[in-house]
Structure 1
Amino acid sequence: MVDECVDGYDMDVSEYLNDLSIRDLLQRVTDDPIVRSLPEFAWFTAELAGIDERFRAVLADGPMVRPGEHRWWRRSLPAVGQEDFVRDAKERYRVELRLVG
């Protein structure tokens, strides 16, 4: 999904939010005390941190559409997108994204 956002997300905002539900699930996994005790936990969180770093960079220039949201990945939208995403973001949030493609 991060790669899709770098290139310009090509579906509508509903699909984007649905795709973000995977990150919600990953957070629940990392917060689980049983998972934290597993030997693979350090590897898993390091991998997730790398992905998160790339996604934070994607969102850094994008408009904040949910400032009160506690999950950082749901506060903003990517600054660029394909036609459907750009159009839907404008209709839903009244924000202008840069059109790519």
Structure 2
Amino acid sequence: MTWGADDFRDAFVGIVQRSGRWRDLDPDALLGRWNRFVVDCENGYPYDMEDHFDDLTSRDSIERALNDPELQDFSDMVVFRTRVEILDARLRPLLIPDVFPKIEERAWWARGLVRYARRKLVSELWDILGIEITEIE
């Protein structure tokens, strides 16, 4: 998608970059990364535990952008927020909620854990954290 004004994209990139993110800085790239994660979860997350938790950082950055006061004045923020809500609605039913209760409740995507995955993640979660999820082929 091409955003309505370069001002939104530039402000967005600046905010996300200042949060420490070094890749997938613009709205489309960040949404694309979050979408890939959701699709991976829908199909049984195929990567390892490190990748899983790394992929969650895209949603952390999205949340920062969603809550940044500077971005709220842009009409493009409505479109961005809607796209995030659509992806989030697809992901929520795929998660076992509150697996990591020490994480703040508002970070529901990090508190939960995908219900099923491929062998690598299933094995690592069990071996390292003692958490059992369903393995799919």
Q: TM-score, normalised by structure 2?
A: 0.69
Structure 1 unaligned blocks of 5 or more: none
Q: Residues of 1 paired with 2:89 and 2:125: CA distance?
A: 23
Q: Residues of 2 paired with 1:76 and 1:89: CA distance?
A: 13
Q: Residues of 2 paired with 1:52 and 1:65: CA distance?
A: 17
Structure 2 unaligned blocks of 5 or more: 1-36
Q: Which runs of 4+ in 1 moved over 2 A?
A: 62-65
Cα deviation, 1:49-83, whole Å, max 9, x if unaligned, reads 01111111111xx2643112111101121110001
Q: Residues of 2 paired with 1:34 and 1:20: CA distance?
A: 24
Cα deviation, 1:11-55, whole Å, max 9, x if unaligned, reads 111110000000000001111111111011111101100111111
The answer to whether the 8 A contact 2:99-2:111 is kept is yes
The answer to whether the 8 A contact 2:115-2:133 is kept is yes
Aligned residues: 99
The answer to whether the 8 A contact 1:2-1:55 is kept is yes
Alignment of 1:1-101 (within 5 A): 1-59=37-95, 62=96, 64-70=98-104, 71-101=107-137
Q: TM-score, normalised by structure 1?
A: 0.92
Computed over aligned residues only, the root mean square deviation of the Cα atoms, in angstroms, reads 1.2
Matched-pair identity in %: 26
In structure 2, relative to structure 1, the CA distance for the partners of 1:5 and 1:16 (3 Å cut) is: same
